[in-house]
């Protein structure tokens, strides 16, 4: 983990009607770290990701990526500089084969510029690059799984496909919105090495999780949200010991 700030969020607020979904949230993410965001259901985690990645507009506040202010940029422009996200509610192209789901990000100017997965596909066939990426993320290359319609895949594979679509863009930062949710313990155990490998490849990861134990295995630092407010930040031991975090999760078996 470096001391270079790659994502800086300052004073983000978002109201839906009368509901304050985010209240003055600020945090910095260092290049190459795994930054965890926790919080009970409805605490504003997905709204925060939506505000940062351009899917909704914050009412107030600023987001910087490296030296650029990206607040209020459209999604494609934010993705174009290498900031991407997975969806908590998975959004594959259900009626396309799994590997064809990667063709759209692989056609993006950014993927073209950086030549596909680890430089392997600059002159290669995009279908092959798509299969390469799926193999990297745990689809058995020789099986029929990469060719099955995305909508027919089990949750574990759909979660991986979400990550694969991000990876196809050759991102610098991935916001993972609950990539472990809906997975069995063994599926999570299979995902963790993928997350660790992305980190080793230099990708900065912001992992939003409702399930704490799994996140604590991989995250360098954690921030906790409750009712739209940041209530704690730091190393996981300090965060789980925090009185306000304990109260927020009181009655839940998560902590």
Closer residue to Mg ion (CB): 13 or 181: 181
46 near ligand ADP, judged by CB under 6 A: yes
Q: How far apart are alpha carbons 133 and 117 in whole angstroms? A: 7
Residue 71 contact, options Mg ion, ligand ADP, none, Cβ 5-8 Å cut-off depending on partner type: none
Q: Of the candidates 42, 80, 156, 190, which one interacts with ligand ADP according to CB under 6 A?
A: 42
Residue 41 contact, options Mg ion, ligand ADP, none, Cβ 5-8 Å cut-off depending on partner type: ligand ADP
Q: Are 73 and 54 in contact (CB under 8 A)?
A: yes
44 near ligand ADP, judged by CB under 6 A: yes
Is residue 42 helix, strand or coil? coil
Is residue 49 helix, strand or coil? helix
Q: How many CB atoms lie within 10 A of CB 121?
A: 22
89 near ligand ADP, judged by CB under 6 A: no
80 near ligand ADP, judged by CB under 6 A: no
Residue 239 contact, options ligand ADP, Mg ion, none, Cβ 5-8 Å cut-off depending on partner type: none
Q: Of the candidates 19, 185, 189, 192, which one interacts with ligand ADP according to CB under 6 A?
A: 19
Q: How far is the CB of 14 from ligand ADP (least distance, A)?
A: 8
- DSSP letter at 61? E
Closer residue to Mg ion (CB): 32 or 58: 58
Q: How far apart are alpha carbons 178 and 221 in whole angstroms? A: 16
- DSSP letter at 74? -
The CA distances from residue 11 to 5, 19, 91, 220, in Å, are 16, 17, 29, 23
What order do you get walking across the sheet with 83-85 strand by strand? 83-85, 173-177, 204-209, 34-38, 221-226, 229-234
Torsion of Cα atoms, 17 then 21 then 22 then 23, to 10°: 70
Stretch in the footprint of Mg ion (CB under 5 A) among 21-29, 50-58, 86-94, 246-254: 86-94
From residue 36 to residue 55, the character string flagging contacts with Mg ion as x (rule: CB under 5 A) and all else as - is ---------xx---------
Residue 53 contact, options ligand ADP, Mg ion, none, Cβ 5-8 Å cut-off depending on partner type: none
Closer residue to Mg ion (CB): 137 or 225: 225
Interface with ligand ADP by CB under 6 A: which residues?
Answer: 16, 19, 21, 39, 41-47
């Amino acid at each position: 983990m470096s001391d270079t700030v790659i994502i800086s969020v300052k004073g983000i607020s978002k109201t839906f009607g009368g509901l304050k979904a985010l209240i003055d949230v600020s945090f910095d993410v260092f290049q190459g770290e795994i930054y965890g965001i926790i919080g009970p259901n409805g605490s504003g985690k997905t709204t925060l990701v939506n505000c940062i990645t351009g899917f909704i507009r914050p009412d107030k506040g600023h987001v910087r990526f490296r030296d650029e202010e990206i607040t209020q940029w459209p999604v494609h422009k934010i993705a174009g500089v290498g900031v991407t996200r997975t969806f908590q509610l998975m959004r594959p192209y259900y009626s396309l084969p799994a590997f064809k789901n990667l063709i759209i990000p692989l056609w993006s100017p950014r993927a073209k510029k950086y030549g596909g997965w680890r430089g392997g596909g600059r002159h290669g066939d995009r279908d092959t690059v798509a299969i390469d990426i799926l193999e990297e993320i745990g689809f058995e290359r020789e099986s029929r799984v990469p060719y099955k319609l995305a909508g027919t895949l089990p949750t574990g594979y759909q979660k991986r496909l979400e990550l694969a679509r991000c990876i196809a863009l050759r991102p610098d930062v991935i916001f993972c919105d609950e990539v472990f949710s809906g997975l069995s313990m063994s599926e999570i155990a299979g995902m963790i090495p993928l997350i660790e490998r992305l980190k080793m490849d230099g990708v900065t990861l912001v992992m939003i999780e409702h399930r704490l134990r799994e996140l604590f295995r991989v995250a360098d630092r954690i921030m906790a949200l409750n009712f739209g407010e940041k209530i704690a930040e730091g190393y996981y031991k300090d965060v789980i010991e925090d009185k306000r975090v304990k109260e927020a999760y009181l009655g839940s078996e998560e902590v």
